Amino acid sequence: MQIPLVMTIIGPDRTGLVESVARTVAEHGGNWLESRMCRLGGEFAGILRIEIPSEKKSPLLAALQDLQENGLQIVVRTDQPIAIWGQGKQTKLEIVGSDRPGIVREITSALARANVNVEEFFSEVVSAPMSGETLFKATARLQLPANCDLAALKRDLEKIAADLLVDVSFADLNPR
């Protein structure tokens, strides 16, 4: 029987880090299903989902412990499927504007009040092409609950955006 596992890894960035995890998973009969990984500053962080034969879980955990001795921090959890949030829809949120503390807190607070699930969130601070001004850019994939008043959510986010001097836009990810 195959069991699904979710792993997080973090450690100082170095060549071969992902390969060492992939090799360990493969050596224990695991199948790498999906992952999100990146370097932030000097650290490398990732989350991945694998399947492994149930009898290989303990040996895999022991082998991952060996990788931790090389500076990685690894957390492994059994993947527990969750119920999908009703018949809601997915949408993409984009935010661009002058950088300042509190942008993520304000936007995510509005999303939480509307019971919106943030499924993916990417952000960065970049220099504006012409002015060199520091810009905050973020993209999020959101799961809206079936009863979400999208117009009210947009109004709430637009008010916050005006206060923060950022632009907020939505794109429907599953048009009918």
What are the structural domains of the chain? 2-78 (3.30.70.260), 90-172 (3.30.70.260)
Q: What average pLDDT does this structure show over 111-125? A: 94
Give residue 171's pLDDT. 86
Q: Which residues of 78-91 are buried (b: 16+ CB within 10 A; e: fewer)?
A: eeeeeeebeebbeb
Task: Give the integer Cα–Cα distance in Å for 71 and 48.
Answer: 18
Q: How confident is the model at residue 132 (pLDDT cuts 50, 70, 90)?
A: confident
Q: What average pLDDT does this structure show over 38-65? A: 95
Residue 140 bridge partners (DSSP): 93, 121
pLDDT above 70: residue 176: no
Give residue 82's pLDDT. 67
Task: Give the integer Cα–Cα distance in Å for 92 and 53.
Answer: 36
In this structure, the dihedral spanned by the alpha carbons of residues 93, 94, 100 and 103, taken in order and rounded to 10 degrees, is 0
Task: Give the integer Cα–Cα distance in Å for 71 and 45.
Answer: 12
How many CB atoms are closer than 10 A to CB 7?
20
Residues ≥6 apart with Cβ < 8 Å to 57: 3, 5
Task: Give the integer Cα–Cα distance in Å for 57 and 116.
Answer: 34
Greater model confidence, 85 or 174? 174
